[in-house]
Chains A and B, each alone.
Chain A
Amino acid sequence: MHNHHTDMPPFKRLLVDILMASIFILLAGFALWLLWITFFRATFDTGLVSSSDQTALEQIATGAGISREHFHNVDQAVLEGAESISLCLKCHGNYPHSKAPDVRAFLNAHAFFTACETCHIRPTESDHIVYKWLNKKTGMELSRLEGKPGSYGAMIVPIKVAEDGIGRRLDESADKAFIEEYLSLRATFNADQQAEAKVRIHKEISQKPIFCDECHTKNGLLNFRSLLYSPVVANRLETGEVASMITKYSKFYLPTMFDPASRTRGRRNTP
């Protein structure tokens, strides 16, 4: 048989070789598939997440501990909102506020559609900062708001306009390379080195963030009409039910990244 094979014309022999190789690949594939369904195929997804070896921060970053099903049904808006390109959220998680029981959930709701720097960079008098809705994926400015409240596929981003008229997104750190390097190496840093790095990372962040009533008021920091809200909604955000509700919030906590020891420091927002 093999001698017969050698007598074939080269083209025919090539065809036979290709056929033989194909059969071999098919059989090998079949064998691998057989092994997979016998020993490796996932059977029943029990939803068990082994998170005992993870720190709380890692659990947040990997999504461990998040229940797969929510009683009131989690929809795409929650999943899309949690997908953020923000460098801040790589450490602070998608729900970064946790200390002030009165407001933490509301602040986290804002984090889905507001860049961290909107509240955590307080403009000085000399700064010229404009706030715009920028598409989360393309970075393009929105011309109108479409979708459910807060779920416009965009974020309110502070833009610092220089004297020459060129704007810089404040949510894009000039120190991005350093931050990413720190994130990959932080496990090897001691406490002092980490503290030093954190000071550099947060150098643009204001120690005293902007509080609710500084935006949700007439002539506040944000001009809701310029941010494409209808006059009715803008009024509601400035003086209506939202504004009247936030006057009840009394306790806020300042970020502790600058001074990790003073974790209990707070501020009374209303006298």
Chain B
Amino acid sequence: MKTKHTARDITVALFLLTAFLTLFIPAAAMAVDDENCLMCHKYAGLGRYAKNEEQKAVKRIFYVNEELFKASYHGKLRCKNCHTGVEEIPHTDVKNVDCATDCHLNDPSTGRAFSHKSIVNDLRKSAHGPDGTKKPDLIKDLPKCKDCHTNKPYQIGIGKELKSMQFIKVCLECHESEAWTNRFYKHMFYRAQTRRSSKQVVALCSKCHADKEKMDRHEVDVVIGFKDTFHGKAIVYGDEDVANCLNCHAPYQLGFSPHRIISHTDSSSPVHPDNKLRDCRQSGCHADAQEAFANKGKAHPSNVMTERVDEDGVTIYQEEQEFQAWVIEMIALFYKILIIAVVGGLGFHRLADLYATHRERKIALRAAKLGRHTS
């Protein structure tokens, strides 16, 4: 009996000691890589070159920085939650990650398994998805989730981080788990910020929409002229108070989303001629805009010709585009000549003035010498 007591006491003591020591293990260390993927994926050089669909060499990097991953949006997930079907080493039959997979996390708003399924479905139906594109035979051209999204770490900034830490203390008055509270707060705080600058948004969209070859394949106008507009110029110089692509084509304020972008010819599109005025007036941007402002001219004119051929083989919009291209070309030419003439004239004037000064100085010196001789 006594022995039994001793064994039980030791067990309880060990349990308490373990529990006590656990308190001192940092949270990061507790979130162990229990699948042991990092045994290999911690090596920076883990990767290879592969050929993409266009037979171009593309570097594939399989390295994962543990710290960055744990601090990222998906930092709480296990690798296999997304990389499903990876059972063997070496991985020979790895499927592409499907963002519509149900996660092993519960959505706190519904209690159900969290998933990006609804967004993936929206994207499928949009102009960027296989069900919404005009060219379903060119699916390989369409953007995938990863073309726009990366698994970034929550970056709040040191100054704001300090304030956050103070604020989290308030949250912890009710919420017991510090790790959960910290993550939830960072998520909310980070998502409340603008994640991409307007310049980054334009660069992202331009990856495809400035690619004339690709746009021609999809019979979509190539967007080259945006950088020359008032909006484009302001964005280049860092102004965040002007409209970027998404502000007009997917304004959240008007109930649209970047995942639900549709063709401007669709009557429900925010940039359809019937809706453009509302689009321009949103968020107080051009609150007093009138019909002529919204629908006369193009928001981002292009001086690159795109050929559109209708079902009867007739090139459409050609005349209008030719004239617009000619006008834009003439304006650009005028300014080029003006700048070269003004700047060049300025330089020529300065050089001529220097030459005149030098020549007059020489004449004056010669005259002075002559004067001394004659006197």
Residues of A within 8 A of B (CB): 2-3, 5-6, 20, 23-24, 27-28, 31, 34-35, 38-39, 41, 43-48, 51, 56, 59-60, 64-67, 69-75, 77-78, 80-81, 93-95, 97-98, 101-106, 108-113, 148-151, 241-242, 245, 248-249
> Which residue of B is nearest A31, CB measured?
B343
CB A251 to nearest CB in B, in angstroms, measures: 10
Q: Which residues of A contact B56 (CB under 8 A)?
A: 51, 56, 59, 65
Instruction: Tell me the minimal C-beta distance from B245 to chain A in angstroms.
Output: 10
Known contacts A34-B343, A65-B58; A27 and B350 CB within 8 A of each other? yes
Given A31-B347, A66-B58, A106-B46, verify A43-B210 contact (CB < 8 Å). no
Contacts of A59 in B (CB 8 A): 56-57
| Cross-chain contact A78 with B61 (CB below 8 angstroms) | yes
Measured CB to CB, the closest approach of chain B to A36, in angstroms, equals: 11
**Which of B36, B335, B357 is close to A5, meaning CB atoms less than 8 Å apart?**
B357
8 Å CB contact of B44 from A65, A81, A101:
A81
- Contact stretch, chosen from B162-170, B319-327, B360-368: B360-368
Knowing A6-B365, A48-B210, the reply to whether A73 touches B152 (Cβ < 8 A) is yes
What's the Cα separation between A105 and B357 when bound, in Å? 72
**A38 cross-chain contacts in B, Cβ below 8 A:** 335, 339
CB distance from B41 to the nearest CB of A (A): 9
Supposing A69-B150, A150-B44 touch, asked if A101 and B68 sit within 8 A by C-beta, the answer is no
Can you report 14 residue pairs joining A to B where beta carbons are below 8 Å apart?
A6-B361, A6-B364, A23-B350, A44-B236, A46-B203, A56-B51, A65-B52, A67-B58, A67-B59, A70-B150, A72-B65, A72-B69, A77-B44, A93-B49
B361-A46 in contact (CB<8A): no
Write out, one digit per residue, whether chain B residues 252-267 have a CB within 8 A of any chain A CB (1) or not (0).
Answer: 0000000000000000
B72 interface residue (CB < 8 Å to A): yes
- Give every chain A residue within 8 A of B206 (Cβ-Cβ): 44, 46, 48
- CB-based contact B210/A27 at 8 Å: no
A93 to B50, CA, bound (A): 13
Other CB < 8 Å A-B pairs besides A2-B360, A75-B68, A108-B45, 16 of them? A2-B356, A2-B357, A2-B364, A6-B361, A20-B357, A31-B346, A46-B206, A48-B211, A72-B150, A73-B72, A73-B150, A97-B48, A103-B90, A109-B40, A111-B45, A245-B89
Contact of A34 with B339 in the complex, beta carbons under 8 Å: yes
Neighbour of B49 across the interface among A28, A60, A248, CB < 8 A: A60
For residues 200 through 259 of chain B, which have their beta carbon under 8 Å from a beta carbon of chain A?
A: 202-203, 206-207, 210-211, 227, 232, 236
Residues of A within 8 A of B343 (CB): 31, 34-35
Task: Give residues of chain B (322-344) contacting chain A, Cβ–Cβ below 8 Å.
Answer: 335-336, 339, 343
Q: Within B27-69, which residues are at the interface with A (CB < 8 Å)? A: 36, 39-40, 42-49, 51-52, 56-59, 61-65, 68-69
Q: Quick one: which of B49, B69, B357 has the most chain A CB within 10 A?
A: B49
Is the C-beta of B4 less than 8 angstroms from some C-beta in chain A?
no
Q: Could you tell me if A81 and B59 are in contact, using CB atoms closer than 8 angstroms?
A: no
Closest chain-B Cβ to A16's Cβ sits at a distance in Å of: 9
Contact partner of B364 (CB less than 8 A), chosen from A3, A103, A104, is: A3
Q: In the assembly, what is the distance between CA of A98 and CA of B336, in Å?
A: 51
Residue of A whose beta carbon sits closest to that of B49: A95
Name the 6 nearest CB pairs between A and B, nearest first: A112-B45, A77-B44, A6-B364, A2-B360, A31-B343, A109-B43
Q: How big is the B interface, by class?
A: 35 or more
Q: Known A44-B203, A73-B151, A241-B39; judge A105-B57 contact (CB<8 A).
A: no
A102 & B90 in contact (Cβ 8 Å cutoff): yes
Let me know if A248 and B89 touch, CB within 8 A: yes
A110 closest partner in B (C-beta): B45
Chain A residues, Cβ within 8 Å of B140: none
C-alpha gap A74/B62 in the complex (Å): 10
Task: Check if B153 is an interface residue, CB within 8 A of chain A.
Answer: yes
**With A and B bound together, what is the CA distance between A23 and B153 in angstroms?**
50
Q: If A105-B46, A112-B45 touch, does A249 touch B90 (CB 8 Å cutoff)?
A: yes
- Cα distance A4–B227 when bound, in Å? 51
Contact between A242 and B339, CB atoms less than 8 A apart = no
Contact A112:B361 (CB < 8 A) given known A43-B232, A46-B210, A72-B64: no
Q: Which residues of the partner chain B approach A5 to less than 8 Å between Cβ atoms? A: 357, 360-361
- C-alpha gap A106/B63 in the complex (Å): 11
B138 at interface by CB-CB < 8 Å:
no
Q: Is B135 engaged at the interface, CB distance under 8 Å to the other chain?
A: no
In the bound complex, do residue A46 and residue B207 qualify as a contact, i.e. CB atoms below 8 Å apart? yes
